Structure 1
Amino acid sequence: MKESCDAIDLAAYCARIGHDGELGPTLETLRRLQARHVAAIPFENLDILLGRGIDISPRAVDAKLIGARRGGYCFEQNALFKRVLEAIGFQVEGLLARVLWMAPSDAPPRPRTHMALRVVVEGRPWLADVGFGGNAPVAPLAMDVREVQATRHETYRVTPSEEGLLLQARLDGEWAPLYDLSLQPQLPVDYELPNWYTATHPSSHFRHQLSVARTTPEARYALRNARLTVRTPAGEQTRRELGVGELETVLRETFGLPVAEGWRAVLERAVAAERETA
């Protein structure tokens, strides 16, 4: 293993995600870590809604996602995963993508506000992404093939685009665009501006709705405000609205988050917002 300039406690990370296997820079290791990461560390934006902002320095990310057993969004999740992979000995580059998920086909271009990773294993490039919420791939995807790629949950395809590569997922029988990925490698400093924009700009949906997601082998769990959606690998899907007390229970028991008293106002707003749109 090589030592990263931003040292990561691999033992603490492995304990956090429940991994006790080998840590060599192999495709099998990458697959196991990616699956365990998205199952153990939830996607969530609570700090944005609490007005705390998002600190993406390595020390802050490790303290939050590992030490405090919290979750985070892409700039936290994939930055952590990148440093873990580098410490193991993988060749990793950070990338930026333009999110297309849930955008109308005629919508103006969005800024590049999503971080993803290119991991080279035995000379072959793989897309690794543990920070795309309820649609994050549970396995690395080959970036040099155009055939569909099945995972335990959705099937994906990676195709050329004007900007680089387009990632799509097969959802409800149709191909849904997730994001358009630029292949220009990014430095850590390149994420400061999109992170600030995503966490603070009035148009960012992360400032206005609670978003929490976790993917286990059994199901994908996703919260949008106070609506919980559960989707199984077989395609079965259920949705239900939650009250504040139920929301606290789900955050604690389903997503594994250490619910704090200070979150109450955010959860009350999430329940009110869900009722307004029902």
Structure 2
Amino acid sequence: MQNLTTLFHKRIGMPYNEKITFEKLPEILEKTAQTIPFENLTIIESKKCEITKENLIKKIVDRNEGGLCYELNPLFYFYLIENGFNAVLTDGVVYNHTEKEYGQIGRTHVTVLLNHKGQTYLIDTGFGGNLPLKPVPLSGETISSDNGEFRIKKENQEFGDYCLEMKLKHKDTEWKIGYAFDSRKSIEVANLNEIQTIIAEHPKSTFKKHPLITRLTENGNITLTDTTFTEWADGILTKEAIENKKFKELAKQHFGL
């Protein structure tokens, strides 16, 4: 069987034999965000299966599907490890801006922490349209990408010791909280199945209620639900109401699903 790196590069359109360095990660993260959709269809269709490295490769790389954070970030973690990086998985709690509080279903956001030359960075490929597209240092330095500005803020609170803050391009004028996480702990693959169960079964889980598919594009992002198709392009928003038949057509046309 081909290794994950070869298969992953084929999926995102990178040369198979490309040597992966830390400096190359922004390009890889951008290609990943524009190719692999953030989507919850297996939850909606009750087709979830055990989270393992092999199953993630089958779903996201072989079948060209997408996934949620507990699938997308672990796959990228395995890719990083295969390429000699020092990385761990950790979990966090997403901030709910509507309710103005951290989410009530617990530590269900999975993300990656990478150590490079004595500095720790957050890497996220599974946060919907809120992706930094570059490693974000825990030092507090602001990084800028095509998707906006991102920084890590040091905190001491019940949900962790740091939080990701963001100012999305064309959307935010002020910094807003993404999620809190704990840099002092790491999680194992077994924990991913517990997170999947919460997201699939918890009454307050938003991902079990309506289908959602989104990915970044070269000049913005596109988002599809069962009732709307939304596109941001160069800061201009267009939104179209759709019906069920149109959902399936658009899912195939724009996301390959």
Q: TM-score, normalised by structure 2?
A: 0.89
Paired residues of 1:97 and 1:116 also in contact (CA < 8 A): yes
**Structure 2 letter corresponding to 1:168:** E
**Structure 2 letter corresponding to 1:57:** T
**For residue 168 of structure 1, what is the aligned residue in structure 2?**
165
Deviation per residue, 1:199-255 (Å, 9 max, x gap)? 2222211110111111122221122332222223x4322222122232222211211
**For residue 4 of structure 2, what is the aligned residue in structure 1?**
9
Q: 1:176 to 1:238 in 2, by over 3 A?
A: farther
Please give the alpha-carbon distance, in whole angstroms, between the structure 1 residues aligned to 2:220 and 2:102.
31
Q: TM-score, normalised by structure 1?
A: 0.83
What stretches of structure 2 of length at least 5 have no aligned partner? none
Question: Across the two proteins, how many residue pairs are aligned to each other?
Answer: 249
**For residue 58 of structure 2, what is the aligned residue in structure 1?**
63
Q: After the TM superposition, which of the residue ranges 247-256 and 44-53 deviates more from structure 2?
A: 247-256
Q: After the TM superposition, which of the residue ranges 183-192 and 60-69 deviates more from structure 2?
A: 183-192
Task: Tell me the secondary structure at the aligned position of residue 152 of structure 2.
Answer: strand
**For residue 93 of structure 2, what is the aligned residue in structure 1?**
98
**For residue 244 of structure 1, what is the aligned residue in structure 2?**
244
**Structure 1 letter corresponding to 2:142:** V
Shift of 1:80: 0.5
Q: After the TM superposition, which of the residue ranges 121-130 and 107-116 deviates more from structure 2?
A: 107-116
Q: 1:26 to 1:106 in 2, by over 3 A?
A: closer
Paired residues of 2:142 and 2:149 also in contact (CA < 8 A): yes
Any residues of structure 2 matched to 1:1-278 within 5 Å, and which?
8-20=3-15, 23-106=18-101, 109-144=104-139, 146-162=140-156, 163-170=160-167, 171-183=171-183, 184-232=185-233, 234-257=234-257
**Structure 1 letter corresponding to 2:146:** R
Task: Tell me the secondary structure at the aligned position of residue 224 of structure 2.
Answer: strand
Which structure has greater helix proportion? 1
Please give the alpha-carbon distance, in whole angstroms, between the structure 2 residues aligned to 1:192 and 1:80.
14
Which structure has greater strand proportion? 2
What stretches of structure 1 of length at least 5 have no aligned partner? 1-6, 258-278
Shift of 1:153: 1.4
Paired residues of 1:165 and 1:182 also in contact (CA < 8 A): yes
Shift of 1:141: 1.3
**Structure 1 letter corresponding to 2:65:** R
Please give the alpha-carbon distance, in whole angstroms, between the structure 2 residues aligned to 1:108 and 1:68.
31
**Structure 2 letter corresponding to 1:228:** F
Shift of 1:109: 4.7
Deviation per residue, 1:105-139 (Å, 9 max, x gap)? 25675401000001122222211110111212222
Q: 1:180 to 1:8 in 2, by over 3 A?
A: farther
Q: 1:241 to 1:76 in 2, by over 3 A?
A: same
